[in-house]
Amino acid sequence: MPLSHERLIAALLDRTELLRDVVRSADPATPVPTCPGWTVGALVRHLSGGQRWAADLVAARADAPPDDAFFRNVTRPAEQPPAELDRALAESSAALARALREAGPDAPVWTPFGPGAASFFTRRFTHETVVHGADAALAAGRPWTVDPELAVDGLDEWLELASVPQMLELFPERRALLGPGRTVHLHATDTPASLDAEWVVDLTGAVPSWRRAHEKSAVAVRGPVAGLLLVVCGRQRIDDAGAEVFGDRALLDGWLAASTFG
């Protein structure tokens, strides 16, 4: 079950604060290896612009796709000062939290996958902020951790998005992953049993699917839940995440390459 609307909003604000702490002390021109071509400044412009875009969309109860300009033109020849980037994150996260709280989780609103509810953006931008916070911390050589419950929900959310049928229309090359016997098992080794932190990604059908389960699969990955989140999102290599692989490594590598976080 996804985390509550309010729990996710609190996490959104908390993870933005952690990112702001990195931004205030980092050189904005520092390259972000996990987002090729981006600097810390570009990453902040992308995230703060995205948070502001979602805030406006939810506040307006939009029923059609708005302009997506925040996805474009985040790179610049000269970087903004850290104070400007910090202020942009403070303002965008506050605006998004306010819009989400005023709307409530069930307010109808357009989503990239059709008509939906404000809760889609609560969850999406919380985990967007979690992963981009990791990008910035890794770029700055800073330690990064995440609450296990939040990491588990982040893996749920990303697997859910990757299994939406429209994804095969957007990324038709992912059809090559599908076939008999193609299953991937993810097993977090450092979480309490109550979190049930095991997943099976099932690529045997016409579209990808996933479930929480402990099942024999073609390939299995075992490791800390924070490491699994970064591996699945394409932010960390398996060895660097302290994870182990058992089984069909080629299948795993192909699935990870096709399913990386944007």
pLDDT digits (tens, 9 = 90+) for 170-181: 889 999 999 999
Q: What is the pLDDT of residues 193-215, one digit of tens each?
A: 999 999 999 999 999 999 999 99
- Extract the runs of DSSP E, i.e. beta strands, from the chain: 108-111, 114-117, 183-188, 198-202, 209-212, 219-223, 244-247
pLDDT band at 262 (very low <50, low <70, confident <90, very high): low
d(CA 127, CA 143): 18
Q: Is the pLDDT of residue 52 over 70?
A: yes
Q: Is the pLDDT of residue 2 over 90?
A: no
Q: What is the pLDDT of residues 97-117, one digit of tens each?
A: 999 999 999 999 999 999 999
First to last CA, the chain: 24
Cβ density class 102-117: b for 16+ within 10 Å, e for less: ebebebebbbeeeeeb
More confident residue, 260 or 220: 220
More confident residue, 230 or 75: 230
Phi, psi of 210 (to 5 degrees): -150, 160
pTM for the model: 0.95
> Measuring CA to CA, which residue among 94, 95, 92, 77 is closest to residue 28?
77
DSSP secondary structure code for residue 204 in this structure:
S
Tally of helices (H runs) and strands (E runs) in the chain:
8, 7
Helix 118-140 / helix 5-25 crossing angle, nearest 10 deg = 30
| Predicted pLDDT at 123 | 98
- Virtual CA dihedral for 223, 47, 161, 9, nearest 10 degrees? 80
| DSSP bridge partners of 245 | 221
Domains in the chain and their CATH numbers?
5-144 (1.20.120.450), 150-258 (3.30.1050.10)
